[in-house]
Copies of this chain bind each other. A is one copy, B any other.
Amino acid sequence: MENLEEKEHIDQFELSKEYLEKLQTAITEQDDQFIKNTLDDTNPADISTILLEFETEESRYVLDVLENEVSAEVINDLDEDVRSKYLKEFNTTEIAAMLNELDSDDAVDIINELPLKDREEVIASLENKEKAKNILDLLRYEEDVAGGLMAKELIKANVNWSINQCIEEIRRQAENVEKIYSVYVVDNQNVLLGRVSLKKIILADDHLKVKDLYDDDVISVETYMDEVDVAEVMRKYDLDAVPVVNVQGKLMGRITIDDIVDVITELAEEERQMMAGISEDVEEDDSVWMLTRARLPWLIIGMFGGLLGAQFIGVFEEDILLVPAMAFFIPLITATGGNVGIQSSSIVLQSLASKSVFDDSFLKRILKVLAVAILNGIVIAGIVMGMNLILGQDIRLAIVVSIALFNVVLLASFMGTVTPLVLDKLGINPALAAGPFITTANDLLGLLVYFSVAHFLI
């Protein structure tokens, strides 16, 4: 098994503590030859991983030694928070030289991380003037819409061209466009008409025209489409790249699936953090201070919820003096409300993530939620009733607890379902509703129900 484990990485970079130590020595001794020899053929994604183990200044030294093309890709592969630290080490001319090597979409991402005052300078220093123009074009879009995700680099062919002209265009652009999935076909006004796959081009007779070959039911997205919807379109139709058009249907750029994979991963992370009540994008290796800051807001909101709960229970102090056992069931009530609420929200989140074309009406959804809640409520309230009787609890209190539980399940289901729907309508991330927000709200609601029922029945 040991052996198998090793084999698993045979085709990827073999990273060892030994190598890191040697690299450390090479940096200290300024042994550029060692750095070049060992890293120039390494995948930039692996170099990014290695550099995380070094101080920013040491990394800077390594990046200077490497080919500019490689350094650019390494910087591109870094996480945003690490990258912004690195970028501070470079001046605008150096950054411009790196951006020259990157696709326009990646270049724009990096420019967006620079201080406002540096942005214009970097763009002005770009040697490749077409790239500069492309970047300016892309900067007009919000980062989370198709326009903000697309790259301007793509291969397009006029519908009237011959296949040979098409191949010539691929040759001309080969250096600029790293990954070619298909050639997009446009008319004289640059309106997208369709696409030809590379496979078809390879297999076609040279004398054929693009017109004879192209596939006209190409799926495209518009520049302002939300990234979540772009991801859903690419997932649904199994696309590896999607052309982006403007309102007039003109071809503006293309989005490749690797960027969408990143979008999907980030959205999942964001949702997880919201569900857990973490208010900033933090990772385990962030500083103690950042981690604390990311966690405190929701803890404090939960704390005020708890203090409000304490004030509320205080109103019933006399009831508790009369029947102290009433206090025993507080955790049961609040926990059930919390669990039911989060379950309900999570099911709504699932629906919102994979929007169906024909949604059931709001009323129909609520009725279904109610049906599920009634079933769950009956089971929970029933078991608790049985247990309480077996354990010899006072029968009146047992009845109160079960009635309260049943109602808490109903209310928490309703709250858990409606809150994410409302947040979504308001344009707020509905995952917020599946976190401490709903737990805190349901805690208070649960206490309200429980003590009201108790007060009137005991």
Interface of A toward B, CB cutoff 8 Å: 4, 7-8, 10-12, 15, 17, 41, 43, 45, 49, 52-53, 167, 170-171, 174, 179-181, 198-199, 201-203, 217-222, 224-225, 229, 233-240, 245, 247, 249, 257-258, 260-262, 264-265, 268-269, 271-273, 275-278, 282-285, 288-289, 291-292, 295-296, 298-300, 302-303, 305-307, 309-311, 313-314, 317, 320-321, 324-325, 327-336, 338-340, 342-343, 345-351, 353-354, 356-358, 360, 365, 368, 371-372, 375-376, 379-380, 383-384, 387, 391, 409, 434, 436, 439-440, 443, 447
A300 & B380 in contact (Cβ 8 Å cutoff): yes
7 contacts between A and B (CB under 8 A): A235-B261, A272-B275, A282-B347, A302-B339, A306-B331, A331-B443, A335-B440
User: Chain B residues with Cβ under 8 A from A234's Cβ?
Assistant: 261
Bound-state Cα–Cα, A439 to B339, Å: 9
Residues of B within 8 A of A357 (CB): 15, 49
Residues of B within 8 A of A15 (CB): 357
| Across-interface contacts of A321 in B (CB, < 8 A) | 321, 324
14 further A-B pairs in the complex, CB-CB below 8 A; given A11-B219, A239-B258, A295-B343? A167-B202, A269-B350, A272-B272, A285-B351, A285-B356, A285-B360, A306-B331, A306-B332, A310-B328, A313-B330, A314-B328, A320-B327, A331-B443, A335-B443
Whether A199 pairs with B180 at a CB distance below 8 angstroms is yes
Complex contact A240–B179 (CB within 8 A): yes
Contact partner of A327 among B219, B273, B313, CB < 8 A?
Answer: B313
> Which of B202, B273, B291 is close to A372, meaning CB atoms less than 8 Å apart?
B291
The interface residues of chain B lying within 8 Å CB-to-CB of A327 are 313, 320, 324, 327, 330
Assembly CA distance A350 to B295 (angstroms): 15
B171, B284, B325: the one within 8 Å of A348 (CB): B284
Indicate if the CB atoms of A324 and B332 lie closer than 8 Å: no
**Do A346 and B275 touch (CB < 8 A)?**
yes
Question: Complex: how many Å from CA A329 to CA B354?
Answer: 41
A350 and B284 contacting across the interface, CB-CB below 8 Å: yes
Tell me the number of copies of this protein: 2
Contacts of A199 in B (CB 8 A): 170, 174, 180, 198
Contact assessment for B365 and A284 in the assembled complex, using a CB-CB cutoff below 8 Å? yes
* In the complex with contacts A327-B330, A331-B334, A332-B303, A264-B268 CB distance below 8 A: yes
Contact partners of A339 in chain B: CB under 8 A: 277, 298-299, 302, 436, 439
Residues A302 and B336 in contact in the complex (CB < 8 Å), given A222-B7, A240-B179, A275-B275: yes
In the bound assembly, the distance between CA atoms of A275 and B317 in angstroms comes to: 35
A52 nearest CB across to chain B (Å): 8
Chain B, residue nearest A435 (CB): B342
- Within the complex, the shortest CB–CB distance from A200 to chain B, in Å, comes to 9
| Contact B202–A283 (Cβ < 8 Å) | no
Q: Is the CB of B307 within 8 A of A351?
A: no
Asked if B198 and A375 make an inter-chain contact with CB atoms under 8 angstroms apart, the answer reads no
Task: Give the residue name and chain of the B residue nearest to A222 (CB).
Answer: B8
Residues of chain B lying within 8 A (CB to CB) of residue A258: 235, 238-240, 257
**Are A283 and B384 in contact (CB-based, < 8 A)?**
no
Cβ–Cβ < 8 Å partners of A332 in chain B: 303, 306-307, 309-310
Shortest distance between the CB of A224 and any CB in chain B (Å): 7
* Complex: A358 Cα to B54 Cα, angstroms: 12
Given A260-B261, A292-B372, A351-B283, A240 and B237 touching (CB < 8 A)?
no
Task: Determine the residue in chain B with the shortest Cβ distance to A413.
Answer: B295
CA distance A233 to B11 in the complex (A): 11
| Cβ contacts under 8 Å, A11 to chain B | 218-221, 245
Given A303-B383, A387-B307, A375 and B292 touching (CB < 8 A)?
A: yes
Which residues of chain B come closer than 8 Å to A264, judged between CB atoms? Answer: 261, 264-265, 268
Which chain B residues border A198 with CB–CB below 8 Å? 180, 198-199, 202
Bound-state CA distance A174–B376 (Å) is: 54
Q: Which residues of B contact A347 (CB under 8 A)?
A: 276, 278, 282-284, 291
